[in-house]
Structure 1
Amino acid sequence: MRLSTFAYLSFLGLAFSSAVPPLGYERRLLRDAFDKRSSNASSTSCFADGAPSTVAPKPNVWAPLSPTDNLAVWNFLHDPAAGLNLTHPDEAVLTDNYVFWIDVLHTNKSDVLPFLDGEGPLPAKYARAIIFQGGKADPDSQEYMIGPLPVSAETTIEKLDYMYNGGSGGSVPYNARYFDGPRSTATDPLIASIMSNISDITAALFQGGAYYGAEDERSNLSLTSGTPLSFDGTQAFRNIMFRFPGPASYMTPLDFFLLIDCTGTDASLYSLKGFVTGEKFYPTIADLRSAFEAGTLGAEYDQTVDADWALVNYKPELGVRALEERLAPSTIEIGGKRYKLDEENQYVEYMGWSFYISYSQTLGFMFFDIKFKGERIIYELSMQEATAQYGGNQPKAANTVYHDTYYQLGTSIGTLVEGFDCPWGSTFWNLTYHSRNTTVVNEDSLCIFEADMNFPLSRHRAADSNDYGFSKFGTVKGAALIVRSIATVGNYDYMFDYSFHMDGSLEVIVRASGYLQSSFYYPNQGKWGPRIQQATQGSLHDHIITYKADFDILGTSNALQVSELKAVNQSQPWFPELGTFEQMELDASIMETEQQFNYFPNNQAMYVVLNQNETNAWGEPRGYRIVPGRSDIHLSILNSPWSLKNSEFAKSQLAVTRQHDNEPYANSVQNINLPSKPQQDFSKFFDGESVVDEDLVVWFNLGMHHFTRAEDVPVTLYTEAYSSIVFAPQNFFDRAQDGDLLNRRWMEVDEEGVLTYEAYGVTLETCDVVLEEPAESLGTIFDI
């Protein structure tokens, strides 16, 4: 069977009209089908074979741990000779020592550069592990470094302290450590006891809702608690909100909060702190029952039990849109892929670009050794933290700040749906991470594709009075290579895009979709968000996504130039009648010391990371400009007790520091529960050091002030919740990097009106998909 391109797209639109296959099945089925092509040489396919291969110039020294290394490290830690006295996590209780997670340790830049740029040795590889040490007299969480790898007689276990500046190194107080299964299990008996005693109250208030314990079949309410769970590690608490369970539980909160003290490892000492409902605090069960019996409890609206309205499925009641039954347009890499891959080393080449990709289970995907036309621009580009801070007058909203690396954001990067999350025919790579002594594979979690920018990279029409209206006309096709992943961390789906443009500019984009963390609605509470359902309020909050860009513009001797547009008074002798008037001019200076700062109002300043010792043909220092895009923001609240000192990285739009091996991360993965006494205090990075002709790191924030709305139901839309930044050449070259692109059209009209047209050999190819007779399994799914 032969299908034209357009018939083929219609063919795809019929897929899975009746049955829902396992995730990933659609991609495998389509690939299997389209691999059965005719040998007809006159036909080409829109889906050519995978990207051409290349060979990375050096091994990927930033690569994550292999399954073999992870298992070896696990066994090494559990060897009695290690002296750690570890229990398997499945059997652990609060007073045991056990491994929380194992990941790769950041490789020091000072070790990497001699290897990359010279004849230096391959840097040693190390793992890092967090071990919860409840068995100690003074229980804590301690991070260790294990290496060199692979495990051998030279491998040692040492405390990982060097990268933390909070005063206790890799040690986190027990009360501030991650709230995992054993801690949740330890608090549940207290919660069940309290809630069982007031089950008649909750049943009356919430349509029969009650909680008797996590394992009790009578429980028909679920619970959640946010972070932080401590201020400085000397105490621990949970602010617990109840809600109706189900796939959209984030959208069906109840106006009932239980506050408990859960300090220490002795669960018998845990205690009730009180209840909050109706915006009032009741410190005891007796106080709550008294109010109930007096008839002062209750809300004006009942929460909806059926949350079908909050599901991301087809809603025919919204109406019918003409022609919506047709498949929407899609980017297709006609004629084959124009990028090359070394999958083993996670190395990519595209139109002058080259870079390595790595992965961390806390940070997700990271980029290293980013070069354009053989010259390094950025040594490291990585997401550092995804912060969300809420506002409200209820404990969950008013007291919640999230650091998503605390929840191991990288492990939440999931399978992408071809044709919807990424274009048809994209390259998909798996994500591999380690859970205890096993390896988990999230299939198709990274996609790479070249996309039409849907606007020309450049164009100009030189006007003329001839019949064509121009004498010379040129237009250059715009395209970019996009590397994409989506992390679903609890309720939000963060889409991370890195776009490598043809002109040498690099764009970083983040989008947010998913469920709001909502609040129960009370009338006259619009200052914290609108009513978006029967009894649901969209909670006002900030999303701040912090990134690290370690610039190496032609080496490690860089500076940050700030060029401010200023209004100055001047006069012009050729217009004496105007007298003195305002004119704009550029006031350029070099930033002297490390600092956090914000963009100038009205964007009246340009920031350029440049190498003052390297100039282009015109004598200008070569550099890359930091171009703010859409919604480059910082936290609205700068002095909240819930984010007092542990979220300093989110409190400015930009920051510049000198690169140090002991400052690889803006945050630590357990910092969220230490707002008053952080393990990592980003503000301490700024200690007056010079940043003139030094190795510079730029920290920048993307994000959105989430002004919630009814259109966040069922989920937030990517079109609006979108933020971006661009790094663009600023005198880095002698001219724009578009002259060497063949994907262009050039037209000239001579003096006699004769038009000549040049396509440079690049034409629109036709592409047919040629299939053999479809397999029986295809016939049962596709209407063909």
Structure 2
Amino acid sequence: MHLRFLYLAYTAGLVVGSALPPLGYERRVFLEALSKRQASGESCYSGDAPQVKAPKSNVWAPISAQDNLDVWTLLHDPATGLNLTKPDDATVTDNYVYWIDTLHTNKSAVLPYIDGDSPAPAKYARAIIFEGGKANPDSQEYMIGPLPVSESTTVQKLDYIYNGGRGGSVPFNARSVDGIKSSVVTPLITSAMSNISDITAALFDGGVYFGPTDDRTTLTMTSGTPVSLDGSQGFRNILFRLPGSGSYLSPIDFYLLVDCPGTDPSHHSIKGYVTNSKFYPDEASLRAAFESGEISETYFQPEDESWTDVDYKPELGVRALEDQFSPQSIELGGKRYKVDPEAQYVEYMGWGFYLSYSRTLGIMFYDVKFKGERILYELSLQEAMAQYAGNQPKASNTVYHDTYYSFGTDMATLVEGYDCPFGSTFWNVSFHEQNLTTVNQDAICIFEKDTGVPLSRHRYGSSGGNYPFSKLGVVKDSALVIRAIATVGNYDYMLSFNYNLDGSLEVEVRASGFLQSSFYYPDQKKFGPRIAPATQGSLHDHIVSFKADFDIIDTANSFEVSDLVVVNQSQPWFPELGEFEQFEMNISYLETEKRFNWAPNAKAMYAIVNQNKTNVWGEKRGYRVVPGKSNLHLSVLNSPWSLKNSEMAKYHLAVTRQHDTEPYGNSVQNVNLPLAPQQDFSKFFDDESILQEDLVLWFNLGMHHFTRAEDIPVTLYTEAVSNIMFAPQNFFDRAQDGDLLNRRWIKYNATTDELTFDAYGVELPNCAIDIPEPVYGISPTVNEEL
């Protein structure tokens, strides 16, 4: 047997059984030679990905820096009539631009271009403008286009994508809380806390708050969302914490409740104070309780916050051999995917797709094809929400929608070799702030990974002789990964999209980062355990909602349900059994739009199929929706804080008919309108037929976060993971592994007692491992002013 084949056979685990030759001299010699390859040889480091020209221009691409500047200029032109003040000079009663982003391009306008000879559709921007100068101040969204800006460009209200009844308008009290809006409330908070500084100093080891700019201040404050219920009221529920990078883990037992509706601070007031699980409606009642000794503190936060750092902690012990560099994934022999960086287009092993990006949703995928046939028109995140539980003001009312915080802008530099393998392809993302464009460098990585398991394998029965098989086939598996990590406040959301060799596509979400914790109350462990000296891990849900606009070959698709049902039946060849239980498939199709949950015990298979297209066996071609880890929905369905504004998170799955007027399952300002949402996802379901129509699947991933001490200092990615897969279901005539060359086909001849190997010309590269020095620093963002 050739020495190379012997090595590959052992390392792949292919040659098995009692007849194996010993791991003797030959293998030792080979392995020693392998380890001593000369560094002067050809490097295994693959360098840049080869380039390819995208089939069409990327019509989903973000607007350019020049477009942003031109839109900004147009909006501020007095002739436009918006009466805008630049944000740096604005007050809460002025009109000013909150942000500018790309408006999605309608699918109905895109398909004639990508599938035919029609011209590329016009591009538009969207802008949120805070209009505090109106008699009834609000936030209004506009659409600006076509771009580039010219005499034909118009500025119109962006109303058609919202179904809440107000179009793109959001009441002032419910609009996003920026620095300008906060500044109106800050004096009241500062005054209230300054008046009771003697109380807080005594209770919290010198903790006082005299305002954000006062040097005497030793506490920091936080207030989450929502800040209104339907726009008719405005409030802040404020929690105080120890300052520092680990403040999320250092809450103190003090809350300030503020009513702050409208733009006039004279209408704002203190609703009350909370400490020791008691509510005090005014300063007098709080002071009386303090002076009588009714209020005291038992638990105190550590002043040294090093316990919250994600650094080396030698006090945990020493692990043998951990001083050696850990295993790495290297793309030996060169990258096997191609890219068009300008068009943000990728090709890999039969896959082809475009990337886009927005400040609110992050990365999105369009025109996803496998072997030339479209599977998905769009795959995109729609919302990353969290809802908390607790018996105190902050946790009990906290609901986060992370698109509200511009999820995509928090996709920042990835650390090579740790966030992504060495040698990955890195792309930047750009977003716009006023007339500036910010570039987050190396925020997306692309790499091919070894999945660690074969794609397929079979050992055929023995034909006698020294080996326990006659034939053995094994196919190597790998996947292309597109990854980004968004650090939204306290959590680091890792999004990975895995394009697999067999035509399947996996979406995976992981969460790390700080818990938003609560002060520890011994009698409130039903809301989470004690995880630090004075800290309780707050029980909460993470629900990450996605949109998958399927086009299985074309836009005429159906949603097929294959239920496993148990039946009693008799069979004539088993007369002695009489009736016995058997299970079978009951195949049906959803007729109208529907929201629903995964069947118990996974007793149903769901697939998007094209009933007009069949494979060679006459089966309808489609893609199966395969549940993975932690496919869940929101626990509470009737909370006042998430009653109608979080409908996208309340079921595992939903199927609707595609409409250009329903591009998003949520609104970026919906979080502050739980009783009267700008976008009500439940209204998408109006009994429209979905039989052989253009379908959209909405699905939820996430975690019920049962907090634990092991969440300190940060939650671990290993457990906090959720995924789903879309896999071919009779889309092909056979498994998509026969055309892969990375395989071993081994035959045994019992007559001659010889093994023959076929590697199909694909051998282990004979090269030196020569990896560039990793970049341990974080690349800065770049601001470009045009």
TM-score range with shorter-chain normalisation? over 0.9
Indicate if the aligned counterparts of 2:466 and 2:750 stay in contact, CA closer than 8 A: no
User: Which residue of structure 2 lines up, in the alignment, with residue 533 of structure 1?
Assistant: 532
User: Which residue of structure 2 lines up, in the alignment, with residue 147 of structure 1?
Assistant: 145
User: Which residue of structure 1 lines up, in the alignment, with residue 124 of structure 2?
Assistant: 126
After TM superposition, give the deviation of residue 278 of structure 1 in Å: 1.1
Match for residue 418 of structure 1 among 416, 419, 423: 416
The answer as to 2:663 corresponding to 1:639 is no
Mapped to 2, the partners of 1:325 and 1:186 lie a distance apart of 53
After TM superposition, give the deviation of residue 43 of structure 1 in Å: 2.5
Aligned CA-pair RMSD: 1.2
Indicate if the aligned counterparts of 2:422 and 2:771 stay in contact, CA closer than 8 A: no
Mapped to 2, the partners of 1:194 and 1:600 lie a distance apart of 53
SS at match of 1:470: coil
SS at match of 1:525: helix
Q: Could you list the per-position Cα deviations for residues 449-482 of structure 1 after superposition, in whole angstroms to 9, with x for gaps in the alignment?
A: 0000000000000121431110110000010000
User: Which residue of structure 1 lines up, in the alignment, with residue 760 of structure 2?
Assistant: 760
Indicate if the aligned counterparts of 1:140 and 1:172 stay in contact, CA closer than 8 A: yes
User: Which residue of structure 2 lines up, in the alignment, with residue 448 of structure 1?
Assistant: 446
For normalisation by structure 1, the TM-score amounts to: 0.93
The answer as to 2:681 corresponding to 1:656 is no
Mapped to 1, the partners of 2:755 and 2:467 lie a distance apart of 8
Matches within 5 A, 1:684-699: 684-699=683-698
User: Which residue of structure 1 lines up, in the alignment, with residue 27 of structure 2?
Assistant: none
SS at match of 2:403: helix
Matches within 5 A, 1:330-349: 330-349=328-347
After TM superposition, give the deviation of residue 582 of structure 1 in Å: 1.1
Mapped to 2, the partners of 1:104 and 1:770 lie a distance apart of 41
SS at match of 1:556: coil
Matches within 5 A, 1:322-721: 322-464=320-462, 465-721=464-720
Unaligned runs of 5+ in 2: 1-37, 774-786
Q: Could you list the per-position Cα deviations for residues 268-287 of structure 1 after superposition, in whole angstroms to 9, with x for gaps in the alignment?
A: 22100001111111100001
Mapped to 2, the partners of 1:463 and 1:318 lie a distance apart of 51
Q: Could you list the per-position Cα deviations for residues 179-216 of structure 1 after superposition, in whole angstroms to 9, with x for gaps in the alignment?
A: 00011111110001000100000001111000001111
Mapped to 2, the partners of 1:699 and 1:230 lie a distance apart of 27
After TM superposition, give the deviation of residue 573 of structure 1 in Å: 2.1
Task: Compare 757-766 and 202-211 and name the one that shifted more.
Answer: 757-766
Indicate if the aligned counterparts of 1:570 and 1:581 stay in contact, CA closer than 8 A: yes
Amino acid at match of 2:708: R
Q: Could you list the per-position Cα deviations for residues 558-617 of structure 1 after superposition, in whole angstroms to 9, with x for gaps in the alignment?
A: 000000011111122222222212111000001100010001000100001000000000
Match for residue 230 of structure 1 among 228, 231, 234: 228
Indicate if the aligned counterparts of 1:565 and 1:605 stay in contact, CA closer than 8 A: yes
Q: Could you list the per-position Cα deviations for residues 379-410 of structure 1 after superposition, in whole angstroms to 9, with x for gaps in the alignment?
A: 00000000100000011111100000000000
Mapped to 2, the partners of 1:398 and 1:222 lie a distance apart of 20
Matches within 5 A, 1:699-778: 699-752=698-751, 753-768=753-768
Amino acid at match of 1:200: D
Mapped to 2, the partners of 1:175 and 1:101 lie a distance apart of 18
User: Which residue of structure 1 lines up, in the alignment, with residue 194 of structure 2?
Assistant: 196
User: Which residue of structure 2 lines up, in the alignment, with residue 60 of structure 1?
Assistant: 58
Mapped to 2, the partners of 1:140 and 1:51 lie a distance apart of 48
SS at match of 2:404: helix
Mapped to 2, the partners of 1:79 and 1:266 lie a distance apart of 28
Task: Compare 43-52 and 334-343 and name the one that shifted more.
Answer: 43-52
Indicate if the aligned counterparts of 1:202 and 1:208 stay in contact, CA closer than 8 A: yes
User: Which residue of structure 2 lines up, in the alignment, with residue 287 of structure 1?
Assistant: 285
Mapped to 2, the partners of 1:67 and 1:130 lie a distance apart of 17
- For the structure 1 residues 573 and 769, does the alpha-carbon distance in structure 2 shift closer, same or farther, using more than 3 Å as the test? closer
Amino acid at match of 2:764: L
User: Which residue of structure 1 lines up, in the alignment, with residue 13 of structure 2?
Assistant: none
User: Which residue of structure 1 lines up, in the alignment, with residue 24 of structure 2?
Assistant: none
Indicate if the aligned counterparts of 1:44 and 1:335 stay in contact, CA closer than 8 A: no
Mapped to 2, the partners of 1:116 and 1:212 lie a distance apart of 59
Number of residues of Structure 1 aligned to a counterpart in Structure 2: 734
Match for residue 165 of structure 1 among 153, 159, 163: 163
Indicate if the aligned counterparts of 2:337 and 2:348 stay in contact, CA closer than 8 A: yes
Indicate if the aligned counterparts of 2:204 and 2:297 stay in contact, CA closer than 8 A: no
SS at match of 1:407: coil
Mapped to 2, the partners of 1:443 and 1:387 lie a distance apart of 26
Matches within 5 A, 1:87-102: 87-102=85-100
SS at match of 1:380: strand
Amino acid at match of 2:585: L
Mapped to 2, the partners of 1:638 and 1:299 lie a distance apart of 35
After TM superposition, give the deviation of residue 751 of structure 1 in Å: 4.2
Amino acid at match of 1:158: Q
User: Which residue of structure 1 lines up, in the alignment, with residue 782 of structure 2?
Assistant: none
Mapped to 2, the partners of 1:317 and 1:47 lie a distance apart of 37
Indicate if the aligned counterparts of 2:258 and 2:270 stay in contact, CA closer than 8 A: yes
User: Which residue of structure 1 lines up, in the alignment, with residue 784 of structure 2?
Assistant: none
Q: Could you list the per-position Cα deviations for residues 746-767 of structure 1 after superposition, in whole angstroms to 9, with x for gaps in the alignment?
A: 0011341332110111111132
Indicate if the aligned counterparts of 2:561 and 2:606 stay in contact, CA closer than 8 A: yes
Task: Compare 401-410 and 521-530 and name the one that shifted more.
Answer: 521-530
SS at match of 1:609: strand
After TM superposition, give the deviation of residue 296 of structure 1 in Å: 1.1
Q: Could you list the per-position Cα deviations for residues 131-158 of structure 1 after superposition, in whole angstroms to 9, with x for gaps in the alignment?
A: 0000000000000000000000000000
Amino acid at match of 1:86: L
Mapped to 2, the partners of 1:141 and 1:550 lie a distance apart of 30
Mapped to 1, the partners of 2:770 and 2:495 lie a distance apart of 35
After TM superposition, give the deviation of residue 647 of structure 1 in Å: 0.2
Mapped to 2, the partners of 1:224 and 1:90 lie a distance apart of 23
Amino acid at match of 1:183: K
Q: Could you list the per-position Cα deviations for residues 152-188 of structure 1 after superposition, in whole angstroms to 9, with x for gaps in the alignment?
A: 0000000000000000000000000000001111111
After TM superposition, give the deviation of residue 530 of structure 1 in Å: 0.4
Mapped to 2, the partners of 1:733 and 1:607 lie a distance apart of 17
SS at match of 1:344: coil
Mapped to 2, the partners of 1:612 and 1:48 lie a distance apart of 44
Mapped to 1, the partners of 2:669 and 2:685 lie a distance apart of 22
- For the structure 1 residues 664 and 770, does the alpha-carbon distance in structure 2 shift closer, same or farther, using more than 3 Å as the test? closer
After TM superposition, give the deviation of residue 72 of structure 1 in Å: 0.3
- For the structure 1 residues 202 and 688, does the alpha-carbon distance in structure 2 shift closer, same or farther, using more than 3 Å as the test? same
The percentage of counterpart residues that share the same residue type is 67
Indicate if the aligned counterparts of 2:44 and 2:770 stay in contact, CA closer than 8 A: no
After TM superposition, give the deviation of residue 526 of structure 1 in Å: 1.2
Indicate if the aligned counterparts of 1:300 and 1:522 stay in contact, CA closer than 8 A: no
After TM superposition, give the deviation of residue 41 of structure 1 in Å: 12
Amino acid at match of 2:485: I
User: Which residue of structure 1 lines up, in the alignment, with residue 249 of structure 2?
Assistant: 251
Structure 1 segments of 4+ aligned residues over 3 angstroms from their partners: 769-772
